[in-house]
A and B are shown apart, each in its own frame.
Chain A
Amino acid sequence: MVKALILRSAGTNCNDETEYGFKLAGAQTEQVHVNELIAGTKKLADYDILALPGGFSYGDYIAAGTILANQLNMKLKAQIEQFAEEGKTIIGICNGFQVLVRTGLLPGNGKAMLTNNDSGKFECRWVKLRGTGKIKELYLPVAHGEGKFSADEETLEHLEENSQILFKYAGSRYPDNPNGSLRDVAGITNKKGNVIGIMPHPERNLTPQNYPGGKGEGLQVFKNIVEQHK
């Protein structure tokens, strides 16, 4: 059975619904606190999928995702890099995306980053997305204050060429693009395609009741990931 680890730390708060997404998608799931990985009582190598859920890890002080990214790099770097090298999947949603960019597992290193929304405000709203991968369309909520994807032209070109831009907001103007992301980027992957970061929340649209007339289409994101490891 495909095993998914949902990583928690102080301030993680989308862990239950992220776990539910993987569960509905057929994975065996477990929520693990980052302290357990550091203590060695749980081992990353025992899982196929590592999910970094949304939230405000360690309060997002300094900047969103910074403190957890620092912790992962200081304490678990080798394990995580090996996990990624083996072709296992790492997905970061919202705060998890911010963490992955800051760890360098997703294009970052000062070249790309998630910064303050153009509105200067935290925004919670549903947005339409267009996908370049298996999923072509999605309707999901965003809820963030630091979600504007910015990078230099060269990096953006590079991401486009390598098909690393997984999701774009369906429009370029506010509020279709809720944060002012360059080229409307909503989600990206690493070169290999197995490290994924996405600002909107697929785990908040798992069932038809999540919005009037809905289909729970966010579930497909989890299904596609689990499918790859079957």
Chain B
Amino acid sequence: MASIGIPANQAPKTNYLNNGHSLKSWLLTTDHKRIALLYLISVTVFFFLGGFFAMLIRLELLTPQGDLMQADTYNKVFTMHGMIMVFFFLIPVVPAVLGNFLVPLMIGAKDLAFPRINLLSWYLYITAGVLFLHCMLTGGVDTGWTFYTPYSTAGSNTNVVEAGISVFIAGFSSIFTGLNFIVTIHRMRAPGLTWDRLPLFIWANYATSLIMILGTPVIAITVVLVAVERLFHLGIFDPRLGGDPLLFQHLFWFYSHPAVYIMILPSMGVVSELVACFARKRIFGYKFVALSSIAIAVFGFLVWAHHMFVAGISLYAAMIFSFLSFSVGVPSAVKVFNWTATLYKGSISYATPMLYAFGFIGLFTIGGLTGLMLATIGIDVHVTDTYFVVAHFHYVMVGGVLMGYLGGLHFWWPKISGRMYPEGWAKLSALLVFVGFNLTFFPQFILGYVGMPRRYWQYPPEFQVLNVLSTAGASVLAVGYLLPMIYLFWSLRYGPIADANPWNAAGLEWKTTSPPPTFNFDETPVVTWEAYNYDEIPQKELEAPVAR
């Protein structure tokens, strides 16, 4: 074991992990840290399930003709991939795993404000997940993750109602998480921890929670209306019965566009923490970064109709929504520029979390800029429903959200598990993820721009080279994702013991032991310093506690 700055014997005899070993002590726990681990396990299961469907898609698209599956199966496969990844992975992943673990720790609280509601959230998530698995095993759904009417209400003969109910239930899991975070951040902060001393991860989760409680109820009622229409043959969205399918799209995107900010904002919060720690500097323009999260949440609610430029909304409305969509670029750019400015004259080290943070900044920038292209009505009309759109949102969702999540998971892994991960393997997997990701999705920008439509199981032969590149990249990416699962699991037993603060990072979560005791702090901390006071914290050899 490598030398460790602070003696390892600081680890308490009882911490949240060994405080009770029975199954009941896990399944009925109200400890936010244990619930975070329950979420960690369940979202990982869904991630690999969604990834399995992604591999099926890429395998089918390896050749121009449909040889692995036919159209009906393909429709179901991409629908399963989308629904699992959106509703059961991307939306809960950072708030429910890292947020659940860190929000009380970062604000010096003993737990979230409503620990039992927190547990209820996880059970709702699991109920929704089991229901969705049942739906998948009994035939699946083929509407695409968007449930567009009238196909979902009158056309599809798959199990739309069950999928809708499961999305409805998963939504309430998300609402309760958001509600819990907002109340906790308002009411449970340690003495002295004012709003302008909060870590940016907290600000980001606060903004996310606002979207969760304001947006999610709308998707809930929308899927209820779809289910009711399907079950009782009402005409709420069916044009043949006087309904309006556009209304469905408005209601759907009113949630589902802000939902992409539910996904990306917490990862942005993670990156703010990582950049400050590994550049050893207070984040540049703290207040702007903090308020840009709120601004993204607010603007995020005003742009939904940019998904509908070709759906038949008026040109006037389209122009307004185009303009508003551009305005989201401002707070997003504030973040990117401020992270970059933080790096300037920082003393940067390249531990794995920082590699992921760099990956996030670069890939999110590409994803964000292509988002501005798509906000331009003319370009959007040209590339609507092509692989350009697919590549764009995967750059934000996978290149952004997932990079931030993996960076955060590595960064806080010593706090979560009390062990260090193997740095060499971690760097290798970060490299594989970055290379594999770009190889998978960059060709799709080109494919889309030259006209390959999304959601088809076959394509003209001239698109094959780029599709083969994309499938090859997906294989590299899969290895990059499997590696962390293996070595993180390995490190639980064999990783070097981590001390309380292996990165010498600022933040209250590092002031308690690793892993923390059940009630987080032996004494409620009193905060007298600003966030990211790295000029007051001496830098230690970051490589030291890391296994070689």
Q: Do these two chains interact?
A: no
